[in-house]
Structure formats: C-alpha cells, structure tokens
Structure 1
Amino acid sequence: MRIRKFINRGKDLETLERLYGREGFTLVLVTGRRRIGKSRLVKEFLKGKKAISVQFEKRLWEYNLNKLNRAIGEYFGIPVPNFSTFSDAFRFIASQSRERLIVFLDEFSYLLRYSEVEAEFQSIVDEILAESDVMLILSASSVGLLKRSFFDYSSPLYGRSDATLNLQPLSFRHLFEWFDGISPENAVKVYAVTSGVPRYLELFEGRKVEEEIRANFFDPNSFLFREAKELLEEEFREPETYYTLLEAVARGKTRVNEIAQHAFLEPKNTARYLRILEDLGILKRELPVGRKAKRGIYRFKDLYFAFWFRFVAPYFEEIEGGFPEGALEEFDQEFNSYVGFSFEEIAKQFLVELNREGKLSFRFTKIGRWWRKSEEIDLLALNEREKQALFVEVKWKNLSKREAWEILRDLERKAELAGLESWEKSHGLVARKVEGNEKLKEEGRLVWDLADFERLISHGGEV
C-alpha cells in the first residue's frame, strides 16, 4: 500500500482557513463515512498552526480524557495534568491560550455514546469556550451519532456548530490524478468497487485491476473483505437488520414492499431503516426524472457496498473458511455485468462535467433515470425552464457503428413515451467503445466512449 496524493479537498481547506481567520470561539464539525479522509484533511489544515490534537478510541470516556490530558501536557510543556472532567480540561485550555489555538478531537463520536459527556460538552461550548479564541474541530465517522447530537432538536448540542464539512468520496475524474497513467477502463473497474473512497484506493495499483480485486475482496485476511460488516456493526445497534436490507437490494429488490418481504419486516418499519441508509449515503432513493411518481425505488449509492453485497456477502462464510472458489467463479462470470450498473453513475458524472464545461447544446438543471412500467432510459437530463431534454443510453460494451445506430433509434422511440411533447429533444449514447465514434459525431449524433472520457478528464480537450 502506498499513500497517495491529497486530492480534491481544496474547497474544504479554504473553508477551514476562512473559519480560522475569525476572531473568537469557533466550532466546526467534520463528518463523512469512515475511510473518507477526515483526519487527513484536518492534519493538512493544522500544518504550521498551534494545535492540540487527540484521536479518541472506542474505549471508556475516562480513557479518552486521559489521552486529552497527555496532549495538553505535551502542548503546554507541563507535567501531564490529571483533569477528572472534560470541563476542567477545557477550562485550563481557555485560561492558558493567549492566541488562536485549534483543538482537534478526532473520532469524537466515540464520546457521543455517553449521554453525560454530550451534556457536558454543551456547557463547554456555551460557557467555558464561549469567550475564548479556540477553534474546536470535532471529527466523527458515525454519521448517525453526529446527526443525533448536533442536528436533533432535542439534543443538548443542537445548533451549536458554526460550520459542518460533510466529506464526499472522490469522483471518477479524480482517479486519473490518483493513479499515474491509469487506463480509462481500469479506472472504471476500480471506481466500481471502491466508490472513490481514498482509503480503499490506497489498496490498488490500477494496473491488473481484476487481480487486485480478487486479492482485496476474496482473501479472508484482506482489509476490504471484512470492512462492510465492521462498518455496519460500528454504525448500528441492529446491524443484522441493515445487513438483510442491503442484501435484498443487492438481489434486485428495489421497492419498499419487496425489501420488507425479504427482510420479514413491516413496510412502514422498512421505510424508516431505508431512510437511515439513505442518510448515510449507502443507498439512494430514486424517482423517475421528468414525471410525477409517489413511490420511488432504492438502489446502491455507495459502490463499495454494492460490490460487497453482490459478490462477497453471499459467500462470506465460505471465503472466511478458505473456500473462495464459488465466489470467484461468480465474480468471473458476473463482474462485467456489475460494472455496467456502476458505469451508469460514471456516465452521469461525465455528463455533469460536460454540462459544467458548456459542451452540450444546453445546460441541464436536473439529471437522473427515467422509467415507466417495462420501459426505462438510463439518463434523462432536463432544463425545465427552457423545455430542453437530453435522453441518454449507457452501455458497458464495445459497439459497432450499426449497433450504436440501433440503440439510438430505440432511444428515440422510448423518448416519445416520456410525455415531453412540446420539448426540444436530443439523444445520446455513452459506451465503453464505439466503432466509428468520430464518424457518428460528424453525422450529428451525440456519442461518447472512454476515449472521450480520457480527453475531457485527463487533458481537458474537446469531446
């Protein structure tokens, strides 16, 4: 494993610097799923600044208070103090700091498990630090705990933060910065199993990707083999329930009633669990773009979880017991089909980049999937004000010119079913490779493949 570049966090650093430039007490929350790079972001920000930094552990609060005591002693150059409460520790910090001082409490969510500590921090924020020049940064991987503590109206800490940085995974384009010389096809495969999570990307070289996937997911000693289970156990009190729900989605159950039936739950309870998984960014609820629909469907947003529940979860015990053959056989047979599912998200990001660069015939303001009964369109981009629509099919295939023409013709047929009669319509195709791509473009067709991705992302050229 090699530690890679610090990528795509410039705006977050700018926000932290702006808040650091304020006078007076400042409270900042840094959140996001585990392995997303929260600690790395804050450590980059702390360079050259006066700071007390502590990484809490999943231990009793007294243990973590002792870690804070040691950090205070080290910073002020004094013997390790013996503060018996966090209030006493912060009272000392506030009394001794004469200039802007940052206190970074990493994995603060481990303290939020103790209600008495949560209430104590209300006093610390409202009274002890209120008149100080301290910048308190709290990082938490347990998004659920953080939301309950700072965004639940009944919580003692509700509304106390000055800013919240919710870190997201890297997008597909950033893999070309992360890996030197990676091919677009390998980048697609890496993204399809890591979802752009920096810690997971560190485990890949980006060359013989399918071999790397086998080593990282189907070896019982590998990090990514156990990661999904550990994350669910870390985040939830009922991990088995959430495990079953995600298993259902991986098996193609997308509607609440279908998922509830698989999990032996009441639909109303299932909907609540699914909303929590949506809040955490593991699942997403989709409604068809361009038409009204009350009942949405659930699909994976986090592609690491999508891959894990598709290929690892059904064979977890066998892999753990040293018999991965069944899992590997299914991976060999079905991985290409799975990448097709992931490629829709990548194609969506590609169109968003084209839209941002002004390289489409109009600027869309909404994009997503469309479906009605048995008909579906992979991507529909709309500008509702100007009544312009772009319909796009996404194929993880190598297509001949004739196949591309046939797909576009069928897309034109389906587009007429969308009920946008008075709209200006255009039709496009995104594929792994399209024979005669340039010829089709000269004929006025909107066709893109991985070569266009590479030109846009790596070189900023025309597509």
Structure 2
Amino acid sequence: MQIRKFVNREEELKTLEKLYEKKGFTLVLVTGRRRIGKSRLVREFLKDTSAIAVQFEKRVWEYNLGKLNRAIGEHFGIPSPNFSTFSDAFRFIVSQSQERVVVFLDEFSYLLRYSDVEAEFQSIVDEVLPESNIMLILSASSVGMLKRSFFNYSSPLYGRSDATLNLPPLRFKHLFEWFNEIAPDDAVKLYAVTSGVPRYLELFNGRNVEGEIEENFFNPNAFLFREAKELLEEELREPETYYTILEAVAKGKSRVNEIAQYSYVEPKNTARYMRILEELGILMRELPVGRKAKRGIYRFKDLYFAFWFRFVAPYFEEIESGFPDGALEEFRTNFNHYLGFAFEEIAKQFLIELNRGRKVPFRFTKIGRWWYKGEEIDLVALNEREKKALLIEVKWKRLNERDARGILKDLERKAKLVGLDGWKKHYGIVAKEIEGEEGLREGGYIVWDLEDFERLMDAYCQDNGASPPG
C-alpha cells in the first residue's frame, strides 16, 4: 500500500482554518462514509495547531474516556488524569486553556454506539464549553449514527453544530493528481472500481490495472474483497436485507416493485431501506431529466459497491474457499461492459467540468439521464430559462465516423420524444475513441473522447502542480 499525497480537500481545509480563527466555542462535525479521508483531513488541519486528538474505538465508554485522559496528560505535560466523566475532562481542558485549543474526537460514532452519552455531551456543549475558546471537532464513519444524534429533531444534540463538513469521494479528475502518471483509460478502470475513495486508491499503483483489480478483489485475503460486506454489517441493523436489495440492483432491478419482489420485502417497507441506502451514498434515486415522472428508478451511486455486487458477491463463497476461477472468468468477460455503466458517471463529471469552464455551447443548470417507454438518452443537460438543451450519448467503445453519425442520427430521432419543442438543441457524443472528430464537429456536432479528457486533465494537473497523465 502506498500513502499518497493529500488531494482535493482545499475547500474543507479553508473552512476549518476560518472556523479556527474565530474566537469562542466552535463545534464542527465531519461526516462521510468510511475510508473517505475524514481523519486525514482533520489531522492535516491540526499540523500547525494546538490540539488534543483522540481516536475512539469499539470499546466501552470507560476505555475511550481513558484514552481522552491520556491525551489530556500528554497535551498539558502532566501525569494522565483520572477523570470519571467526560464532563470533568472538558471542565479541566477549559480551565487550563486560555489560547485557542482544538479537541478532535475521531470515530465519535463508536462512543455513541457503545454508550449512552448523548445527554452528557449536550450538557458539555450547552454548559461547559460555551464560554471557552475551544474548537471541538467530532468525526464519524457511521453516518447514520451521527445523523440520528445531530440531525434528528428529538435528539439532545440536535442543531448544536456550527458547521458540518460532509466529505464526498474524489472525482475522476483527481485521479490524475493522485497518480503522477496514469493513462486515461486506466484511470477510468480504477475509478470504476474505487469510486474515488482515497483508502481504496492507496491499494493501487496505476500500472497493470486489471491485474491489480484481480488481486484486490478476487483474493480472499485482500482488503477490498471483504470491505463491502463488512461495511454493511458495521453500518446497518439488518445487513442481510440490504445485501439482498443491492444484489437485486446489481442484477438490473431498478424499480421498487422489482427490488421488493427479488428481495422478499413488502413494497411498502422497501422505501425505508432504499432511503437509508441513499443516505449512505450507495444508491441514488433518479428521475428522468426533461419530463415529469412520479416514480424514479434506483441505480448505484457508489461504483465500488456497484462493481463488488456485480462481480464479487455472486462468487463470494467460492473466492473465500480459494476457488476464484468462475469470478475471474466473469470479470474478464464482462468488465468492459460494466465500464460502460461507470463511464456514464465519468462523462457526466467531464461535462460538469466543461460547464464550469464555459467550454460548452451554453451554461446548463441541470444534467441527468432521460428515458421513456424503452427509449433512453444517456445525458441531457438543460438551461430551462434560456430553453437550450444538450443531448449526449455515452459510448465506452471505439467509434469510426460512420458509427458516430449513426448514433447522432438516432439521437436526433429520440430528441423529438423528449418534448422540448421550441428549444435550441445541441447533439453530441462522449466515447472512448472517435475517428473523424473534425468532420463531425464541422457538421455542428459536439464530440469528445479520452484524448479530450487527457487534455483537460493535463490542464488540471498543471494548475495543481501534479504531473500530467500519460
């Protein structure tokens, strides 16, 4: 495993630094799925600050209080105190701290899970700390646990925080900053199996990518082989039900009734499970862009889970028993097809970057897929005020000019079904490789392939001081 440099958390660092410069008590929550880099972000911020930092464990509260006592002793250069409550520990910190001090409680959700401390921390936040100059940072991998404690109206801690930093995964473009030299098609493959989660990216060198994927997913001793299963068991009370629901989505079931039937869950109860999977960032509910629809469909948002449930879950027992041949054959046969699904998300991110740089025909304010009665358009971007539309097909394949023109002609046919009469429409393709781009562009079409991605990422890397891809 290689520890990479700190990538793409500039805005979060600026927020923490700005809050640190304030006087008085400040409470900050740092949330996000496991392995996303919450601890790394805060510890990067703490490098030049006076701080008491503790990482809680899956242990009883007395054990974690002991860790806080030892950290207090180290910070103040005294023998470890023996405070019997968290309230006493914070009173001591306040009494000894005239200057700004940061207290960082990492994996705070473990404390919430294995003890009943919400009421005590309400008292600490409301009575012990308000007149202090302490910046209290709480981070939690268990997003659901933290939401129940701080975002449920009935919780004692509801509404107490000054700021909440919810860390998303890295975007596709950040892989070119993470890996100093990586080919764009290899970056697509890596993003398609890691979803930009920093901890997962640390397991890859970016060379012989498909071989690295096989080693990281189809080896029973590999971290990523068990990670999805363990995350569900860690986060959820009924992991078996969620596991079956995600199996259903991986098999192409996208509507609530289909998922419920496959999972043997009452349709009326399925919505609750789906909502929780949305909150965790594993699934997303989609509505077609450009038309009104009451019922959406569900797809994977997290590409790590998408890949794992597509290629690992059906063969989990065989791989665990040392017989990965069936899984490897499935992966080698169908990985390229799966990349078509992942490439849609990457193309969407690419268009959003172009939109920010004003490199598209108009500034769009909405983007997503469109579908109706068996017809589908991969990406539709709209500016509803100006009545302008950009319609894009995404293809993870090499296209010659004839193929591309056929796709564009069919796209124009489907555009008539979208119902944007009177709108100015632009048509385009995003593909792995396109021959005859210039001729297509001269015909008024918008065309991008991985070479265009490479140029954009080259400019991004130069702006961020990294080596360009290639």
Question: Taking structure 1 as the reference length, what is the TM-score of the superposition?
Answer: 0.99
Q: For residue 116 of structure 2, give the secondary structure of its aligned residue in structure 1.
A: helix
Q: Aligned partner of 1:351: which letter?
A: L
Q: Aligned partner of 2:239: which letter?
A: P
Q: Aligned partner of 1:172: which letter?
A: F
Q: For residue 30 of structure 1, give the secondary structure of its aligned residue in structure 2.
A: strand
Instruction: Give CA deviations for 1:122-179 in whole Å, capped at 9, x if unaligned.
Output: 0000001111000000000000000000000000000000000000000000001111
Displacement of 1:444 in angstroms is 2.4
1:103 corresponds to which residue? 103
1:415 corresponds to which residue? 415
Instruction: Give CA deviations for 1:383-404 in whole Å, capped at 9, x if unaligned.
Output: 0000000100000000011000
2:88 corresponds to which residue? 88
Cα distance in 2 between the residues matched to 1:452 and 1:437: 11
Q: Aligned partner of 2:392: which letter?
A: V
Q: For residue 220 of structure 1, give the secondary structure of its aligned residue in structure 2.
A: coil
Contact preservation (8 Å) 2:251, 2:310: yes
1:313 corresponds to which residue? 313
Alignment of 1:21-420 (within 5 A): 21-114=21-114, 116-420=116-420
Q: Aligned partner of 1:251: which letter?
A: K
1:442 corresponds to which residue? 442
- Cα RMSD of the aligned pairs, angstroms, is 0.9
Instruction: Give CA deviations for 1:342-370 in whole Å, capped at 9, x if unaligned.
Output: 00000000000111100111000000000
Instruction: Give CA deviations for 1:240-273 in whole Å, capped at 9, x if unaligned.
Output: 1111111110010000000011111111211111
Cα distance in 2 between the residues matched to 1:48 and 1:367: 41
Cα distance in 2 between the residues matched to 1:176 and 1:343: 16
Alignment partner of 1:431 is 2:425:
no
Contact preservation (8 Å) 2:348, 2:379: yes
Displacement of 1:440 in angstroms is 2.0
Q: How many residues align structurally?
A: 461
Displacement of 1:237 in angstroms is 1.1
Displacement of 1:116 in angstroms is 2.5
Cα distance in 1 between the residues matched to 2:29 and 2:253: 35
Displacement of 1:115 in angstroms is 5.7
Cα distance in 1 between the residues matched to 2:111 and 2:267: 33
Q: For residue 111 of structure 1, give the secondary structure of its aligned residue in structure 2.
A: helix
Contact preservation (8 Å) 1:397, 1:431: yes
Instruction: Give CA deviations for 1:272-322 in whole Å, capped at 9, x if unaligned.
Output: 110110011100000000000000000000000000000000000000000
Cα distance in 2 between the residues matched to 1:299 and 1:458: 31
* Compared CA separation, residues 459 and 207, structure 1 to 2 (3 A): same
Contact preservation (8 Å) 1:28, 1:138: yes
User: After TM superposition, where is structure 1 displaced by more than 3 Å over at least 4 residues in a row?
Assistant: none
Instruction: Give CA deviations for 1:9-43 in whole Å, capped at 9, x if unaligned.
Output: 00000000000011100000001000000000000
Q: For residue 352 of structure 1, give the secondary structure of its aligned residue in structure 2.
A: helix
Instruction: Give CA deviations for 1:163-203 in whole Å, capped at 9, x if unaligned.
Output: 00000000000001111120000000000000000000011
Q: For residue 105 of structure 1, give the secondary structure of its aligned residue in structure 2.
A: strand
The alignment-based identity, stated in percent, is 77
Q: For residue 116 of structure 1, give the secondary structure of its aligned residue in structure 2.
A: coil
Cα distance in 2 between the residues matched to 1:229 and 1:42: 27
Contact preservation (8 Å) 1:111, 1:118: no
Q: Aligned partner of 1:220: which letter?
A: P
- Structure 2: give runs of 5+ residues left out of the alignment: 463-470
Displacement of 1:436 in angstroms is 1.5
Cα distance in 1 between the residues matched to 2:350 and 2:415: 21
Contact preservation (8 Å) 2:58, 2:114: no
Contact preservation (8 Å) 2:60, 2:115: no
Q: For residue 53 of structure 1, give the secondary structure of its aligned residue in structure 2.
A: strand
Bigger mean CA deviation after superposition, 419-428 or 108-117: 108-117
Cα distance in 2 between the residues matched to 1:144 and 1:250: 23
Displacement of 1:207 in angstroms is 1.4
Q: For residue 112 of structure 1, give the secondary structure of its aligned residue in structure 2.
A: helix
Q: Aligned partner of 2:329: which letter?
A: E
Cα distance in 2 between the residues matched to 1:274 and 1:83: 43
Cα distance in 2 between the residues matched to 1:116 and 1:285: 34
Q: Aligned partner of 1:41: which letter?
A: L
Q: Aligned partner of 2:395: which letter?
A: K
Cα distance in 2 between the residues matched to 1:437 and 1:166: 40
Cα distance in 2 between the residues matched to 1:53 and 1:100: 14
Bigger mean CA deviation after superposition, 435-444 or 12-21: 435-444
- 1 or 2 for the larger relative contact order (CA 8 Å, sep ≥6)? 2
- Structure 1: give runs of 5+ residues left out of the alignment: none
